[in-house]
Structure formats: structure tokens, C-alpha cells
Structure 1
Amino acid sequence: MSSPQLQPNGAFVEANKTRTTRWSSFFKKLAKNKAAIAGAIIVLLFVILAALAPLIAPYDPKLPDMSKKLETPSGEHWLGTDDKGRDILSRLLFGARISLMVGILSTVLGAFVGIILGIVSGYYGRWIDSLIMRICDVLLAFPGILLALAIVSILGSSTTNVIIAVAFFAVPTFARIVRGSTLTVKKLEYIDAIRAMGATDFRIIFKHIFPNIVSPIIVQATLYIASAIITASALSFLGMGTQPPTPEWGTMLSDGRSYVSYAPHLTLFPGIAILLVVIGFNLFGDGLRDALDPKSNK
């Protein structure tokens, strides 16, 4: 009577041990990647600054003061003021909230739809696969910024519509990645065994396939956030995104371009902020990819 009980318990312990070893190996690889750690620190720093913006911003980011317009960095205004006398540091801090929110929400929304389409396409195949992949091919044929511009032009200029536009372009990218991973996992023998035991498609997909394809999704999501931030900033720069006086990095670049010859700080600091955040997400995403790759010894 004791042996049947010990066997499943032993299998359970062994499975937990394997899972623990896998995660331990992942964190060790990630910790050894100095570039990934640097990227994570940059991203975490901007997230903290954005979260604490109402507490640490020295001035109201929307309140103009024409008597102090176009001031260079000083003790009173560390990063100077813009053409309406607003404190650039305060606008950068509050702008980080908009840029990070757009990047993260658009990526989550696009990934959610793309994952569903990719799993359905890879698992069921046949005409469903052909239809979804042809739609994805058509969307991928357009440059991301042009597709986003077209969508925002139809929906109107606002932060919400920017999120929808950027998410829309993310869908085919995630769908193709998930489809390829699903096709690989679906061919494994244990999936056939589970199906033979009478498991439903829903259980097979979300209980056994999805957990095994999470790694490439996480990596792609991390990398896409950087792309989403650039696209959102570009739309705002063109006047199609977040509208003034709401502080946003792309809008700040657009407002400062007329004064770049004698007040370069108006565009310098928002540009540096965008550069650092994008580099941070890219470095962290590359580190995740290396750490999650079982063939990588980095």
C-alpha cells in the first residue's frame, strides 16, 4: 500500500526539484549578465521616478510662468524651463508616467490578442492558420509608424488612441512568435498522450502548451516596450499623440525644436530620457533572452 503513495510523491518532489533548478539557473545566468543588470536598473529607476513624480517634482508641470521662459539649467530649475516657463524636470518626471504607461499597456494589449491568435493558429492549423497568418503578413507589410499614424488619424489624437494604435501593430509580431512556439510544443509526445487521455483542447492549450511558450513571449514583450515608447513619442512629436499641455517626452521634443539653436536643453533632456529608457529595456530584454535560452552559456 505504501509504494503507490511514495511513487507519486517522489515524482512530485522530483518535478519541483527540476523546476527549482531551472529557475535557479535562470537567475544565475541573468545575474552574470552585467548589461542586463544595468538595463534593469535603468528601467527600475525610471519606474520609481514616474511613480513618485507627484511627490518629487519641484513644480507643477502644466503651470506656465512667462517671466521665466527659456531659462537655462540653474539651482532653481535644475534642467531649465521651456518656452512657457514650465519646469523641464517636473515635466520629464510626469512625462515618464505617460511614456511608460503607453509602452507597457500597448504591449500588454497587443500581446494578449497576439497570443490568442497565435495559439489558435498553431494549434488548429488548416484554414484558420492560413487566414490568421495572411492577415498578419498584410499588417507586417506596413512600417509600424505608418500603420500607427493611419490608425490614429482615423480614431483621433489622444493617449488612448495611441495605445490602441501601437498595440494593433504588436499583434502580428506576437502572433507569429506564439504560433511557431505552439507548433513546436504541439508535436511533443506528451501532448498526444494527454489528448489520448481525453483532455479538452482548452486544457491542453492553457495547461500544457501556454506555460511552455512563455519564455519567448516575455522576451519579445520586454523588447517591444522600447519600440512602443519610440513609436508613441514619434506620434506625439508629430502632433498625433498626447496633446498639450499634458507632459509627454515626444511632445516636449516637438515644442523645443523651434528653439534648438539657442535653447538646446528643451530637446536635449527629453531626448536623453527616451534614449536611456529604450536602451534599458533593450539591454534587459537581451539579457532575458540569453538567460532563458537553455543552449546559452553566457
Structure 2
Amino acid sequence: MSEQTINDAMTKSPPPSPRVKSMKNFYRKLRKNKAAMVGGILILFFVIVAIIGPFFAPYDPTVQNHVNKLATPSSEHWFGTDHHGRDIFSRIIHGMSITLYIGLFSVIIGTVFGVFLGLISGYYGKRVDAFIMRCMDVLLAFPGILLALAIVSVLGGSLTNVIIAVGIFSIPVFARIVRGSVLSVRKLEYVDAVRALGASDGRIIFKHILPNILSPIIVQATLRMATAILTASGLSFLGMGAQPPTPEWGAMLSAGRNYMYDAPHVALFPGLAIVIVVLAFNIFGDGLRDALDPKMKN
């Protein structure tokens, strides 16, 4: 072998790992979905606004100015002012962090408990499966907003209780999805091989089954963000969520409905903010589902 051949072999970069190939394939399929890319860019923009936006908001979202109440949009107040003279643009910027905070932590609660229950139910089956699934069926028997409303009615109206309520009504959805995925995976040969080697149930569940069913969990969590935000806004609209003067979009929309004819901008801009955020998470979730589905063709 010549010296040049040896040098070429030494300088040649190693082939990419399967994980890198998988990520590149995922990004390539996601990039083909233009709507999903738009949704992802919007979500990234919302996150940036939620983090740094309050530092650049032109006005304090809670300071009232009754002399300038119900002012129409202008160069001074881009989205106008509400019935207390507060700048709507500043309140929407501050409300972005509240909205994403509620959606994120409620989905985390639903994901953690739902995934755990779904793993236990699908892996052990029989009586354990029957008991857990019947409990989930009871929760699913109630419409989501009504179940969340009942929970908040018992706990009291606050942002923390809204997060708990939305998280609880999200648990059955994750539990059923994970259970179905576990049922299709637990009978595969690699699971039998690991069990034959003496691995414990916990190791099999969390190290060998859970990593192989993450795709539907990720997709459902993204789509659930939209549902959680919409539900939380609905609870605040009904007066059961964020309390005044918190700049939460649902509460702002509720206050603005009294001025639909005299000052429609008071309700228009919070409503548009809810619609755009929910739409962004929905279309991005659809794109994730297509990109992570192994049945989809390249």
C-alpha cells in the first residue's frame, strides 16, 4: 500500500452514525412540508418573544390610564388600549409567556403521568390493564373543557390550578396512545431476547420499549400544546383561570367582548393571538407526524 493511500485512509472522515442519518432524514422530510416549517418558525418566534419580549414592551401591562381608554390603534398604541387604558400590544407580549407557560407545564403533567400509566397498562396487561384503562375511560367520558372546568371549580381559579386541570384531562390521551404502542412492541423478538437475558421489567420498559415509541408521544405532545392553550384560554374566558390584572389572552378576550361594537380591537387582537399560536402548533404537529411516521415514503 502506497504512502498516499495510507494518508487518504487516515484523513478520510468516518461515516455518519445511524443517529445522525436518522436526524438528517427526519429534517429532510420535515422540510418538504412547507406548512410545518412555517409553524415551526412561528413557534420559535413565539418562544423568543416570550423570553425577551417583556423587556422591550413599550408600556407596563397593568398600569391603567383611564384618560386614554378604548383608544383605537395608532403609532403610539399599535393595538390600541382596553377599557382601563392599558396598552393591548404590551399585554399581548406579556401574555405570550403566560400562555406558553400554561401549555408547556400542563402538557408535561399529562405526558409524564399518561406515559407512565400507558407503559404499565400495555406491558403487564390483564387486570392491571383493565383497571387503568377503565379509569381512563371514565375521564374520557367527560368533554375535555368540562372536565377541566370541574377540576378548576373544585381547586379554585388560578394559573396553577388551570395547569393542573389541563394536565389531568390530558393524561388519558397519552395513556391510550402509549398503551397501543406498547402492545405492538412488547411481543417483538428483541424484547423477548432482553427478557431471556434476565433484564428486569423496569429495564425492559424504560430502556428498551420507551425509546422505541417516542415518535407518537412527541407528536401528541406538540398537538396537545394547542389543545392545552385553547382550553386554558377558555377557562380564563369563563373567569376560572388567570385573574385580573394578569395579561392572559383568554381573560383579555372575555373583557373585550363587552366592547365588540364600540371598540372591536379590544377583543380582536387577543383572539388573533390565540388563533395564530394554536394554528402554529397544530400544523407543526401534523408535519412532525408525517416526518416521524416510518410508513411515509421519502
TM category (shorter chain) comes to over 0.9
AA matched with 2:205: I
Displacement of 1:21 in angstroms is 2.2
2:109 maps to which residue? 109
**Distance (whole Å) between structure 2 residues aligned to residue 20 and residue 261 of structure 1:** 56
1:130 maps to which residue? 130
SS at match of 2:247: coil
Taking only the aligned residue pairs, the percentage that are identical comes to: 62
Q: More deviation in 148-157 or 17-26?
A: 17-26
Structure 1 ranges of 4+ moved more than 4 A: none
2:94 maps to which residue? 94
2:83 maps to which residue? 83
**Distance (whole Å) between structure 1 residues aligned to residue 264 and residue 44 of structure 2:** 28
Q: Deviations over 1:166-209 (max 9, x none)?
A: 00000000000000101111010110010000011111111100
Displacement of 1:262 in angstroms is 1.2
1:7 maps to which residue? none
Alignment of 1:146-185 (within 5 A): 146-185=146-185
Displacement of 1:42 in angstroms is 1.1
Displacement of 1:19 in angstroms is 2.9
AA matched with 1:248: E
Q: Deviations over 1:32-85 (max 9, x none)?
A: 110100001111111111111221110000000011000000111111000000
SS at match of 2:199: coil
1:252 maps to which residue? 252
SS at match of 2:17: helix
1:217 maps to which residue? 217
| Structure 2 gaps, min length 5 | 1-13
The answer as to 2:266 corresponding to 1:266 is yes
**Distance (whole Å) between structure 2 residues aligned to residue 76 and residue 204 of structure 1:** 61
**Distance (whole Å) between structure 2 residues aligned to residue 266 and residue 46 of structure 1:** 21
Displacement of 1:26 in angstroms is 0.7
Displacement of 1:31 in angstroms is 1.1
**Distance (whole Å) between structure 1 residues aligned to residue 54 and residue 146 of structure 2:** 34
**Distance (whole Å) between structure 1 residues aligned to residue 145 and residue 68 of structure 2:** 36
1:277 maps to which residue? 277
1:289 maps to which residue? 289
AA matched with 1:54: P
Alignment of 1:30-69 (within 5 A): 30-69=30-69
Instruction: Kindly tell me the number of residue pairs found equivalent between the two proteins.
Output: 285
**Distance (whole Å) between structure 1 residues aligned to residue 84 and residue 20 of structure 2:** 56
SS at match of 2:81: coil
**Distance (whole Å) between structure 1 residues aligned to residue 54 and residue 96 of structure 2:** 12
Displacement of 1:295 in angstroms is 1.4
Relative to the length of structure 1, the TM-score reads 0.94
SS at match of 1:213: helix
Relative to the length of structure 2, the TM-score reads 0.94
AA matched with 1:60: D
SS at match of 1:52: helix
Instruction: Provide the alpha-carbon RMSD of the alignment.
Output: 1.2
